[in-house]
Amino acid sequence: MTPPTESIPAPRLHATVAGVLEAFAVPADAAATVAELLVEADLCGVDSHGAHLLPLYVERLRAGHLQPKAETTVTRDDGATIWLDAGLGFGQLAGLRAVELVVERATENGIATVCVREATHLGALGAYTRRAAEAGVICFCFQNGPTIVPPFGGITPLFSTNPLSYAVPTNTEPTIVYDVATTTVAGNKVLLAKKRGDATIPASWANDDQGRPTTDTAAASVLNLQWFGGHKGFGLALLVELLAGVLAGSSYGRTEHTASDALGGDRVAKGFCLVAIDPDRFIGRDEFRRRTDELIVDIRSSERAAGVQRIWLPGEPEHYRRIERERDGIPLPLALVDEIEALAKEFSAPELR
């Protein structure tokens, strides 16, 4: 049975989230930007990376693990490559700054890479790659994080869910946006299932705290998620760790534990890496978009397997869900509405109801 939900208009949810963040001395413009990215995820149906994260961010602000007024600074700038330090501020702010720079430098140089150290949770990576693609470039994004997932075949947590995303410019078709964790699901999906009170989760999502596969939501451990495709997902996770952690000069593997000593076990440092390619240096942006649309039409018009109503491209479900939710409101689980409403009342922010 589907847990009960309440439909919340996006502007109202945005005002509440921003208001709560401002109570922690987050500047108004920064709070509005973070709220925008969280609500955008909910609009697109990426509920695990939406307003569900607000209580977690509040917890980190209270503990001092998330710096409300941090500035993203340039550590090194060599033109086509830029290294940034986010100062443990909101990942969303560093992410948008990185997108701006990677688009600018890819346009100037044909290709660009921006690595960021000392970031925190970015939210849905597709929000950043999509913005870059809409500006005309092909974009990839990789982010690592705290040690919560064992390597394939192991039981000691060394990796995060290590998500990656790519986005590709189109012409009349919705932008292609691929955004996945290299685990079968993001850990927040398990947390959201617990919050909704779901009795079970799919068999491929998580193990219990002893590393045994489980479908019991209560027994499922966010510290023991399963890799998608087994060793194949783990191989991609390792690539993410190398680019977003090692190359970016941020936390990686066991260094997360070492770096936690001064701040406690909840240190949330992450690294991320953006790579952008300008099609103008090859067949041209307009021709690239035209051919991409042509390929999309070929894919969508393929003969479908029995029982398949439509062949979807990455990013299409989110595109159409956003249109629907902007019109009808965002269906939030009642437990989450109550949780956010309690925070709004505690910090005198605009209330949801």
- Please, where are the H alpha helices in the chain? 10-22, 28-43, 54-63, 91-109, 126-134, 187-196, 231-240, 255-260, 285-300, 316-328, 334-346
Distance between CA atoms of residues 313 and 315, nearest Å: 6
Residue range 332-346, pLDDT digits in tens: 999 999 999 999 999
**What pLDDT is stored for residue 156 in this prediction?**
86
The CATH class of 1-66+302-353 is: mainly alpha
Beta bridge partners of 274: 114, 141
Domain-wise residue ranges, the chain: 1-66+302-353, 70-183+227-281
**What pLDDT is stored for residue 102 in this prediction?**
98
pLDDT above 50 for 297: yes
**What pLDDT is stored for residue 261 in this prediction?**
41
pLDDT above 60 for 303: yes
φ, ψ of residue 281 in degrees (nearest 5): -80, 0
Domain 70-183+227-281 adopts which CATH fold?
Ribosomal Protein S8; Chain: A, domain 1 (3.30.1370)
Question: Higher-confidence residue: 30 or 266?
Answer: 30
